[in-house]
Amino acid sequence: MNFRAHIGLGANLEAPARRLRWALAALSGLGEIEASSALFRSAPMGPREQPDFCNAVCILRTALSPLELMRALLDLERTAGRVREQRWGPRTLDLDLLHVDGVALQTAELQLPHPGIGQRNFVLVPWAQIAADLVVPGVGCIGELAALIGATGLWPWRDAD
């Protein structure tokens, strides 16, 4: 069975844009990348004493189950040097499984759709670039939510940044 997974990518340490490009290449080893957004710069959501984030969203078609995919995402984070020391703290790579078409889960290991996505413009704006018409049950239409929340505090990522 193939799953269509929507994945949020973020990093703010050690060449964040390069990290996201590496992650997209690594994700293509887990299936087929159907689409990926532009890269965006955003202020950190957590502690302010950290660099800005580079964010994007991609759509991956994969044969991995949602739980297998989540575990693979965590493995990629570890490979990229991710250390979980502080909630919403700085990170070399953050891969969030936002939504899997047709799947809803509430387990200790994985919640789908990802909690909080309807309030995060650094997720919604890039996601709307590639899936504006997607309706996520319990969340809403991605394009409509992105328009409502707006892009305040988001800027295009420039490679020189």
Q: Which of 91, 120, 159, 161 is catalytic?
A: 91
CA dihedral over 61, 65, 67, 73, signed as positive or negative:
negative
Asked whether the beta carbons of 52 and 87 are under 8 A apart, the reply is: no
Give yes or no: 159 in active site: no
Residue 120 is a catalytic residue: no
The answer to whether 158 is a known catalytic residue is no
Asked whether the beta carbons of 74 and 85 are under 8 A apart, the reply is no
In the chain, DSSP finds a helix count (H) and a strand count (E) of 4, 10
Give catalytic status of residue 96 as yes or no. yes
Catalytic residue among 94, 101, 120, 159: 94
Half-sphere exposure at residue 18, Cβ-oriented, CA atoms within 13 angstroms:
6
Secondary structure letter of residue 149 according to DSSP: H
Helices 66-79, 16-27: axis angle to 10 degrees equals 140
Catalytic hit among 4, 19, 41, 82: 82
Catalytic residue among 96, 101, 133, 158: 96
Catalytic residues: 82, 91, 94, 96
